[in-house]
Amino acid sequence: MPLELELCPGRWVGGQHPCFIIAEIGQNHQGDLEVAKRLIRTAKMAVEFLHELNVPFFKVGSGDTNNFPYLEKTAKKGRPMVISSGMQSMATMKQVYQIVKPLNPNFCFLQCTSAYPLQAEDVNLRVISEYQKLFPDIPIGYSGHETGIAISVAAVALGAKVLERHITLDKTWKGSDHSASLEPGELAELVRSVRLVERALGSPTKQMLPCEMACNEKLGKSVVAKVRIPEGTVLTLDMLTVKVSEPKGCPPEDIFNLVGKKILVTVEEDDTIIEESVENHGKKIKS
């Protein structure tokens, strides 16, 4: 189970908690304070909160991830850290882990490729799985610079616990970051899609679910007699087949277990083989 950390007051990341979605404005404010405020409102953050600079966690951008003195200084502050890994090698990320972990256990790595906009073949979502194997005690996330939301949603399906995307008010504005950013409507759709995928991930336990019972009643098959089988016959595989039948009887997965057992009553062709009619297979039928 990956480490869980409280990234913001009351907002836990990792484990079975929902993916934490960060809407980054980056440089997309165009140097205009009003545009910055509008972007912040779009991301549902409070301007007053940011002005106080009492940030709940530190984000280490990809350009500073291999700046080890900076990493040490940031880690010693004791606040949670989100560390992007664009332009870095796996060897460097192992060093980052070794530097930060003893100083501050509350951090996570984001798989990231520093290109704007990012092409699908350069995303390398499989790095998320590698990070999960190499660093099993920290949450792993994804920082995306691609267009659209599909790849980011896929990252969550692979287990990303933090998801960062840049946002803009207009993709046509000057600057390469705008074209790789999400407009407000796309951001809203991303959040909806991520939450839907999280619901769909569900449980690793494979079993028949209550919602499947109606379909099973209609389409579920049973073992039936392929030919007329007289009482006392020892069953062979060529006497049996699998069909939808009424009443339901032995499930198809039991067919090999029935071979070699004695039938206790005569079963007509196409009739269901029920457990009680087979010797040593469930209750014996009363004579």
In the chain, which ranges are continuous DSSP H helix? 33-42, 47-52, 68-76, 90-100, 126-134, 150-157, 176-179, 184-201, 213-219, 255-258
CA distance 51 to 47: 6
Whether pTM > 0.75 for this model: the answer is yes
Fold of 210-277: Type Iii Antifreeze Protein Isoform Hplc 12 (3.90.1210)
| CATH value of 4-201 in 3.90.1570.10, 3.40.50.920, 3.90.190.20, 3.20.20.70 | 3.20.20.70
CA distance 45 to 63: 25
Cβ neighbours for 5, distance < 8 A, ≥ 6 positions apart: 12, 13, 14, 80, 105, 106, 107, 108, 138, 139
Strand partners of residue 229: 267
CA distance 117 to 105: 32
CA distance 222 to 247: 9
pLDDT of residue 49: 39
Percentage of the chain surpassing pLDDT 90?
A: 66
Q: Across the chain, what does the average pLDDT equal?
A: 87
The encoded tokens of residue 253 equal 């997965």
pLDDT at 175 over 90: no
**Residue 96 near residue 89, CB atoms below 8 Å:** no
pLDDT at 271 over 70: yes
Structural domain boundaries in the chain: 4-201, 210-277
CA distance 280 to 155: 51
CA distance 260 to 125: 52
DSSP letters, 133-158, are: HH-TTS-EEEEE-BSSSHHHHHHHHT
88-99 confidence digits (pLDDT tens): 999 999 999 999
244-255 confidence digits (pLDDT tens): 999 999 999 999
Write phi, then psi, for 82 (nearest 5 degrees).
-115, 115
51-90 confidence digits (pLDDT tens): 345 678 899 999 899 999 889 989 998 889 999 999 999 9
pLDDT of residue 176: 65
CA distance 17 to 14: 6
- Mean pLDDT within 206-210: 96
**Residue 262 near residue 232, CB atoms below 8 Å:** yes
Q: Residue 43: pLDDT band by 50, 70, 90 thresholds?
A: very low
CA distance 44 to 184: 11
How far from chain centre, in Å, is Cα 267? 49
